[in-house]
Chains A and B, each alone.
Chain A
Amino acid sequence: MTTAITMTTTTTTTIAPPALEVRGLTVTAQRDGHPVPITEDLDLTVAPGEAVAIVGESGSGKSVTAKALMRLLPMGLTVDGAVHLGGRDTTGFTERRMRRLRGTEISMVMQDPFTMLNPMETCGAQLAVTLTGPDGRRLSGARRREEVVRRLAEVGITDPAVADKYPFELSGGMRQRVGIAAAISRNPRVIIADEPTTALDVTTQKEILDLLNSLRTTHRIAVVLITHDLGVAFSLCDRVYVMYAGQIVETADASTLMDQPKHPYTASLLAADPPIDRRVEKLASIPGSVPPPGRRPAACRFAPRCEWAVDACRERPIELLQVGEDHAARCIRFAEIGDGLQALAMARRDQPHTGSLAVPAAPVITTRDARRVYGEKVAVAGATIEVRRGESVGIVGESGSGKTTLARMLVGLTLPSSGSVQVGGVELSSRLSRADRDRVRSTVQMAFQDPSSTLNPSRSVGSTLREALRLVSLEKLDERTAELLELVGLPPDYAKRMPAQLSGGERQRVAIARGLARDPDVLVCDEVVSALDVSVQAHILNLLRDLQTKLGIGYVFITHDLAVVRQITDRVYVMRRGEIVESGPTDQVLDEPRDDYTRSLLASVPSH
């Protein structure tokens, strides 16, 4: 006779293991025979379905971290430390085992949607390559098609024809969606998004961030978002890790970090972000620059730039200290300076609004129905704008809006197909007299976006400036070069340096100096701060404002960033698809937009 024995088991509720756990991640490079740490001792935890941000500026090592997590580092870099996926320790996994994990457990989306996809294959084909049926084999034609269309729909692409299109036929936003669909096609636990929206317009950015957010619930995917944009980080993520010079300097949940930062770098970063809701008198910036790997101070990395640094900070390496519940910071003075930091972070919210600097004067540049077409494509469809002496005018728009083309027309780099552009009284055309051309050149000048190619790499800073100065007069070139450099806040001995020796911000200053060499009435700035780190951006914007007061110069400021527009312009034109849809004083346009497009632009900006 058997007695049934019932056993009561007490089930202990087990907490699901974190989707991703990283302990002591260190990436080292080999330079001239000795090891140089790129990132040091990173600890990270991401729960299933959670969204976590790694925020850092250039030189922080954040992108390297992304690749290190997937064990996809380029040759020459080694990685140490433990990476646990879903509770499983992957240290010591062979490449073969790692390959099985990629795509199924952990996946990645990259920054540039154009280079991420294969230009030779249709989107559908690229998506389908990782799809397998329940038996693990590749799917048949019809089934494959069904699956591809379904996956595209999951990321919001409802038109099945997209599957037959090639990446170059799609917009940036669509490509990024296809990329995301491909990355999640095998339902990984974690997706690493390495600056996924940096190359996209702000409206598209919002859509992609919303998409990533929804994937957390529909697919239970944890998201590790790597970005330099605090606003983006806060809009999507629950927790944030702030990186500086290869280390994590602070981590906390988003709202705590925003309101109570406990590390000077975090606070300064928060303060340097230009606010969109008001124009502040002076933007907070961080002096100095990020130390490159190999030249980082052994003790506190941020000390050389920190206003709260004391001797103790420079003595020993600083550990990550617990400063609150679920909040850690790498600062030994967090208790004393906590209030100061909070004040700094809040300052940008509390600073009063200052009015614009412009005094109405005579127009220097006027355009009437300026139009530019390239074959069938209309880049600018009849723009009528005015720029007056001493005022700063913004032209804001997304990609394809025609703002850059318009800017080029104002300077004479591009001639209008029809309509007129008048600069300093001279009507721009292809047949201008020498005197007229000279007048135009001395009236309006331009500074360009990309700091790495705005200066001729084979010529010294001084020679580039002299090249511009000699067109005004051949006398005292060296003196005037030194004056120009001083004007933009650079020491005169920079004239002997080559562009490669300057940082991005310094190069932009030289570019601005070059623009000022001919003493123009208006300087057209084409996205001059867009490629710079936030802290450097603040420097440049302050500089531009100072110059406006000091020299009485006017600006035409081309940008896609509405916060920057708020800070630096007095009037603004909003462009969309070649047309000016709204214009007016900056405060008015940004506070009470009249056009729907302007409204949607404002709504898409991730704010904090």
Chain B
Amino acid sequence: MSFSSVKEPAPMSLAAAGPDALDHRRAVRWSEVRLIATVIAKRLLAGVVVLFIVTVLIFLFIHAAPGGPEVAIAGLDATPEQLAAIRELYRLDDPLPVQYWTYISSALTGDLGTSFMLREPVADAIGRALSGVTIPLIIITWTTALVFGVSLGYISARKRGQLLDRTIVGITVVGATAPMFATGLLISTVFGVQLRWFPFFGSGSGGLDTLYHLVLPALTMVIVMLASTTRISRVRFAQVLEEDQYAFAKARGVSPRAIFGRIIFRNSAVQLITWAGSVIVGLMTGLIIVEQIYSLPGIGSLLITAIGSRDIPMIQGITLVIAVAIVLVTIIVDVLCIIVDPRIRRGMEADA
């Protein structure tokens, strides 16, 4: 394209900013919105397929357990009549696909069956465990780990190579690796049993007391998550700080705040969002350990006891909930990344 002389400022600047250009921009934005909506729809569909596969697998797998579910329920020394009665009760003689269908259709209405060991609807037990303990714990841990981890990572990256950075890296190496059950035991023993600063057993009596009881468990999980978040953020921030775009922004006098928000943060957003998703998934595994150590009646303990008692509906219900959560998290992370990074967006538009 030829270079036009610039003796006078282009007189068409006002006209160029006029209605035509505006419409064009509106059209671009609208097509982007449509794209994102399509992507969400596609991902949800894929998620459903994955969930289908997962539930089938779980279903088959449980029914393939030695002795069949009826032995699990009644115990190994049940009489044949008792076994037959159980089979009758739970309709275990129906062909598998029918059993599966019954399960799924009731699951969609919120009925996940009845727990063998607790004798109450699975959905209720899960709901209680989640709202009472698990979800508050996840929220506290996730927020703390991310906020402090990203901040520490940024500080570390800014001062990379210097003493502060090396100290942080040194500490986070230990923190990120120490197995949660080891740190959990250590913390509950030291801060709970010995120093008696915080309770280390059970979830208290609701409200503030529960939060008080969640401090040590949250701390246990935060240590690992914060350390690894710091490391991941530091690596990414340091990368961006070495890039030309950072030097160029500084060279032309962009304010430090704008540099942080637009260059450093935006260029790390995709990695951070993806990582935040991994943290949630990692917390699900961590929950199991932590709830065991601190005897919290959350979904992790529920799962362990269900496994121990061969409580099939409960196991199915909890794994279903976990699978749904993982699928949702993956979809949200994907969609957010698309929204944040224009390259992914425009790349998809080109393919579309």
B9 at the interface (CB under 8 A from A): yes
A583 at the interface (CB under 8 A from B): no
Nearest residue, chain A, Cβ from B11: A153
Interface residues of B (CB under 8 A from A): 1-7, 9-10, 12-14, 16-17, 21, 24-25, 28, 160-161, 242-245, 247-254, 256, 258, 262-263, 266-267, 269, 340-343, 346
Contact between A116 and B13, CB atoms less than 8 A apart: no
Contacts of A450 in B (CB 8 A): none
Contact between B17 and A160, CB atoms less than 8 A apart: yes
Pick the contact of A108 from B3, B248, B341 — CB < 8 Å? B248
Pick the contact of B14 from A108, A126, A146, A174 — CB < 8 Å? A146
From A99, A150, A160, name the one whose CB has the most chain B CB atoms within 10 angstroms: A160
Please measure, in the bound complex, the distance between the C-alpha atom of A174 and the C-alpha atom of B343, giving whole angstroms: 18
Of A206-214, A260-268, A318-326, A330-338, the one touching chain B: A206-214
Contact between B3 and A186, CB atoms less than 8 A apart: no
- Digit string of A327-371 for contact with B (CB within 8 Å is 1, else 0)? 000000000000000000000000000000000000000000000
Given contact pairs A120-B267, A129-B258, A149-B17, A99 touches B343 in the complex (Cβ within 8 A): no
Please measure, in the bound complex, the distance between the C-alpha atom of A218 and the C-alpha atom of B10, giving whole angstroms: 13
A164 at the interface (CB under 8 A from B): yes
Contact between B245 and A130, CB atoms less than 8 A apart: no
Counted as pairs of residues, one from A and one from B, with CB atoms less than 8 Å apart, the total is: 132
Nearest residue, chain B, Cβ from A114: B244
A-B contact pairs, 23 of them (CB 8 A): A72-B247, A74-B242, A75-B161, A76-B161, A103-B251, A108-B251, A109-B248, A110-B244, A110-B247, A116-B245, A118-B249, A119-B342, A119-B343, A129-B258, A130-B252, A146-B14, A153-B6, A153-B9, A158-B10, A158-B12, A160-B17, A207-B3, A218-B7
Nearest residue, chain B, Cβ from A100: B253
Contact between A108 and B16, CB atoms less than 8 A apart: no
A383 at the interface (CB under 8 A from B): no
A43 at the interface (CB under 8 A from B): no
A156 at the interface (CB under 8 A from B): yes
Given contact pairs A115-B245, A130-B252, A153 touches B3 in the complex (Cβ within 8 A): no
Please measure, in the bound complex, the distance between the C-alpha atom of A211 and the C-alpha atom of B2, giving whole angstroms: 11
Contact between A102 and B252, CB atoms less than 8 A apart: yes
Contacts of B266 in A (CB 8 A): 118, 120-121
A435 at the interface (CB under 8 A from B): no
Contacts of B346 in A (CB 8 A): 166, 168-169
Contacts of A160 in B (CB 8 A): 13, 16-17, 21
A246 at the interface (CB under 8 A from B): no
A117 at the interface (CB under 8 A from B): yes
Pick the contact of B21 from A119, A161, A174 — CB < 8 Å? A161
A70 at the interface (CB under 8 A from B): yes
Pick the contact of A153 from B13, B244, B253 — CB < 8 Å? B13
- Digit string of A112-143 for contact with B (CB within 8 Å is 1, else 0)? 10011111110001100110000000000010
Shortest Cβ gap from A25 to chain B (Å): 17
A window 149-195: CB within 8 A of B: 149-150, 153-156, 158, 160-161, 164, 166, 168-169, 173-174, 179, 182-183, 185-186
Nearest residue, chain B, Cβ from A174: B1
Contact between B245 and A107, CB atoms less than 8 A apart: no
Contacts of B242 in A (CB 8 A): 74
Contact between A183 and B252, CB atoms less than 8 A apart: yes
Contact between A118 and B244, CB atoms less than 8 A apart: no
Pick the contact of B3 from A119, A156, A166, A182 — CB < 8 Å? A156
Contacts of B342 in A (CB 8 A): 119-120, 166, 168
Consensus secondary structure, chain B interface: helix
Please measure, in the bound complex, the distance between the C-alpha atom of A185 and the C-alpha atom of B249, giving whole angstroms: 12
A607 at the interface (CB under 8 A from B): no
Shortest Cβ gap from A289 to chain B (Å): 27
Shortest Cβ gap from A197 to chain B (Å): 14
Contact between B9 and A154, CB atoms less than 8 A apart: yes
Nearest residue, chain A, Cβ from B244: A115
Given contact pairs A160-B16, A161-B21, A112 touches B244 in the complex (Cβ within 8 A): yes
Contact between A186 and B253, CB atoms less than 8 A apart: yes
Please measure, in the bound complex, the distance between the C-alpha atom of A218 and the C-alpha atom of B254, giving whole angstroms: 24
Please measure, in the bound complex, the distance between the C-alpha atom of A110 and the C-alpha atom of B28, giving whole angstroms: 30
Contact between A150 and B10, CB atoms less than 8 A apart: yes
From A70, A72, A117, A158, name the one whose CB has the most chain B CB atoms within 10 angstroms: A158
Interface residues of A (CB under 8 A from B): 67, 70, 72, 74-76, 99-104, 107-110, 112, 115-121, 125-126, 129-130, 142, 145-146, 149-150, 153-156, 158, 160-161, 164, 166, 168-169, 173-174, 179, 182-183, 185-186, 207, 210-211, 214, 218
Contacts of A108 in B (CB 8 A): 248, 251-252
From B12, B248, B342, name the one whose CB has the most chain A CB atoms within 10 angstroms: B248
Contacts of B258 in A (CB 8 A): 129
Nearest residue, chain B, Cβ from A169: B346
Contact between B343 and A168, CB atoms less than 8 A apart: yes
Contact between A118 and B251, CB atoms less than 8 A apart: no
Given contact pairs A154-B6, A211-B3, A142 touches B253 in the complex (Cβ within 8 A): no
Shortest Cβ gap from B98 to chain A (Å): 48
Please measure, in the bound complex, the distance between the C-alpha atom of A429 and the C-alpha atom of B21, giving whole angstroms: 50
Nearest residue, chain A, Cβ from B265: A120
Please measure, in the bound complex, the distance between the C-alpha atom of A547 and the C-alpha atom of B329, giving whole angstroms: 63
Please measure, in the bound complex, the distance between the C-alpha atom of A154 and the C-alpha atom of B3, giving whole angstroms: 10
Nearest residue, chain A, Cβ from B16: A160
Please measure, in the bound complex, the distance between the C-alpha atom of A145 and the C-alpha atom of B25, giving whole angstroms: 12
Nearest residue, chain A, Cβ from B22: A145
Pick the contact of B5 from A119, A186, A214 — CB < 8 Å? A214
Shortest Cβ gap from B254 to chain A (Å): 6
Q: A119-B267, A168-B342 are in contact. List 20 more A-B contacts (CB 8 A).
A: A67-B247, A104-B253, A107-B252, A108-B248, A119-B343, A120-B342, A125-B262, A149-B16, A149-B17, A150-B13, A153-B6, A161-B21, A166-B342, A166-B343, A169-B346, A174-B1, A182-B252, A183-B251, A185-B252, A186-B252
Shortest Cβ gap from B300 to chain A (Å): 38
Pick the contact of A164 from B4, B9, B28, B243 — CB < 8 Å? B28
Pick the contact of B253 from A130, A155, A173 — CB < 8 Å? A130
Contacts of B267 in A (CB 8 A): 118-120
Contact between A102 and B17, CB atoms less than 8 A apart: no
Contacts of A102 in B (CB 8 A): 250-253
Nearest residue, chain A, Cβ from B28: A164
Contact between B262 and A120, CB atoms less than 8 A apart: yes
Pick the contact of A72 from B10, B160, B250 — CB < 8 Å? B250
Please measure, in the bound complex, the distance between the C-alpha atom of A142 and the C-alpha atom of B252, giving whole angstroms: 23
Shortest Cβ gap from B20 to chain A (Å): 9
Contact between A121 and B4, CB atoms less than 8 A apart: no
Contacts of B343 in A (CB 8 A): 119, 166, 168
Shortest Cβ gap from B103 to chain A (Å): 46
Contacts of B254 in A (CB 8 A): 103, 129-130
Shortest Cβ gap from A576 to chain B (Å): 16
Contact between B251 and A164, CB atoms less than 8 A apart: no
From B2, B7, B251, B253, name the one whose CB has the most chain A CB atoms within 10 angstroms: B251
Contacts of B249 in A (CB 8 A): 118
Given contact pairs A160-B21, A161-B21, A118 touches B253 in the complex (Cβ within 8 A): no
From B2, B242, B252, B256, name the one whose CB has the most chain A CB atoms within 10 angstroms: B252
Please measure, in the bound complex, the distance between the C-alpha atom of A336 and the C-alpha atom of B248, giving whole angstroms: 46
Contacts of A173 in B (CB 8 A): 1
Contact between A142 and B17, CB atoms less than 8 A apart: yes
Shortest Cβ gap from B247 to chain A (Å): 6
Contacts of A210 in B (CB 8 A): 3
Shortest Cβ gap from A417 to chain B (Å): 20
From A118, A158, A169, A207, name the one whose CB has the most chain B CB atoms within 10 angstroms: A118
Contacts of A186 in B (CB 8 A): 252-253
Nearest residue, chain A, Cβ from B267: A120
Q: Which A-B residue pairs are the 5 nearest by beta carbons?
A: A103-B253, A153-B10, A160-B16, A108-B251, A115-B244
Shortest Cβ gap from A395 to chain B (Å): 25
Contacts of B7 in A (CB 8 A): 218
Contacts of A119 in B (CB 8 A): 245, 267, 342-343
Pick the contact of A150 from B9, B28, B243, B250 — CB < 8 Å? B9
